[in-house]
Amino acid sequence: MADAPRAKLPWMLVASSVLLLALLLYVMFANYLPARQRITRLESELKEVYAREMTLQTRLAQHEQRAALREQQLGALRAERDALARRIDDLEKQLAAARQPARRR
């Protein structure tokens, strides 16, 4: 009779080990699947962010090109304005010089 309780103890230990293993696997997979779905979702979101960054970088490059072109045009217009101002000054001096001899006569 002493052997009978010992035979039940290992089967109880095996059953509880299997139950513990089942519980452990359930907990691991219960956390694994949502985590995997979240990783997939985050990867797709990251791809969208990279695509948006590329779009914004392209727009930034276009704006920088336009700004450089405007700056170049502005410099050309300033040079033209300065040239016209000098020409006006020269013409005013010529006009003043042309009027002075006429007044002296």
10 belongs to a structural domain: no
Cα separation, 35 vs 73, whole angstroms: 56
Residues of the domain holding 78: 29-97
56 domain-assigned: yes
Residue 6 clears pLDDT 80, i.e. is over it: no
With 90 as the cut, is the pLDDT of residue 3 above it? no
Residue 2 DSSP class = -
Would residue 19 count as lying in a domain?
Answer: no
CA distance linking residue 82 with residue 101, whole number of Å: 29
Q: Calculate the alpha carbon distances from 16 to 4, 23, 103 in Å.
A: 19, 10, 126
The model carries a pTM of 0.55
- The token pair at 88 is 């006006």
| pLDDT tens track for 18-77 | 999 999 988 888 888 888 999 999 999 999 999 999 999 999 999 999 999 999 999 999
Please tell me the predicted confidence (pLDDT) of residue 40: 97
Q: Is the pLDDT of residue 105 over 80?
A: no
Whole-Å CA distances, 50 to 44, 53, 56 = 10, 5, 10
First to last CA, the chain: 154
Report the number of distinct structural domains present in the chain: 1
